Amino acid sequence: MVNGNEINENFQDRLRQAESAEREMQRLQPLAAEAPNLRLQKAKAQKAEERRRAKEDSLSKARLSAQAAADKQNRVPELLGHAARAVIEFYTLLKEIDSSRSQAMEALSVADRVDYDIELEEGEEHENSMDRDTRGLAYALAARHGDTKIKQMLEDLDPEFTMLRGCNLDEPLYRDVANFVVRHAVPKEAPPQAMMSTISDVPPPAREPVTPFPDHSPGSSFSPADETDELSV
């Protein structure tokens, strides 16, 4: 049987424990109140540290990349010099090719003139033997000679010639460089795409009225019209 003294002692023990706990709570309560703010500060500190590391890493990478770019840029003057010299050599070669082709045209014009004179003389002899007028013969023969004939003769010497024959024009950069240099070196030439076409790809020119055969030989001003004037005297 529990007597009153035991109850009183238990009560006193509980009270002491409760009061002790109350004092502990009162002591810890201010510290506990700081917990939310401390957690926020911790999160901010962690985020700031992450940002600092991210910035340092990015700046380090930027410095490395910038240095790599600077190191590579040091090669630009030398490579530009090589490229410029190559372009100049390419340009000069195209000019020389064009000059050689022009010389060939001049030489062929002389050969064509010889053929024309022979045909004219033989034609006149034939017409005279038939007692026919020869005044229109020069104009008729001129249709088979002149620039068109000379260009065909040059084509026969080197069929399907183009300035960029054998070049790789499939690569856009190659094609752009070729366009640039050809445009400056030989302006009268067609663009590379057209220059790759053969003569068979080009439609025949429209028929023009027959004109007297031009004399391409140096220092000569002769024309078939002069000859017909002489024949009519």
pLDDT digits (tens, 9 = 90+) for 45-99: 999 999 999 999 999 999 999 999 999 999 999 999 999 999 999 999 999 999 9
Residue 15 lies in a domain: no
Evaluate if residue 205 carries a pLDDT over 60.
no
* pLDDT for 227 beyond 70: no
Q: What is the residue range of 84's domain?
A: 78-203
Domain-embedded: residue 64: no
Res. 158: pLDDT tops 90: yes
The whole-number average pLDDT for the span 164-174 is 91
Q: What is the pLDDT of residue 140?
A: 84
Asked if residue 162 belongs to a domain, the reply is yes
At residue 192 the predicted structure's pLDDT band, cuts being 50, 70 and 90, is very low
User: Is residue 180 a part of any domain in this protein?
Assistant: yes
- What is the percentage of the chain residues whose pLDDT exceeds 90? 48
118 within some domain: yes
Average pLDDT over residues 4-14: 76
In a domain, 120, yes or no: yes
Residue 219 CB-half CA count within 13 A: 0
Q: Does residue 231 fall inside a structural domain? A: no
Residue 7 has what pLDDT?
Answer: 65
CB 224 within 8 A of CB 140: no
| Residue 146 neighbours by CB distance under 10 Å | 20
Q: Which residue has the higher pLDDT, 64 or 38?
A: 64
Q: Using CA atoms, how far apart are residues 17 and 10, in angstroms rounded to an integer?
A: 11
Asked if residue 33 belongs to a domain, the reply is no
Band of pLDDT at residue 191, cut at 50, 70 and 90? low
**Total number of domains in the chain:** 1
pLDDT of 230 higher than 90: no
- Output the pLDDT for position 194: 40
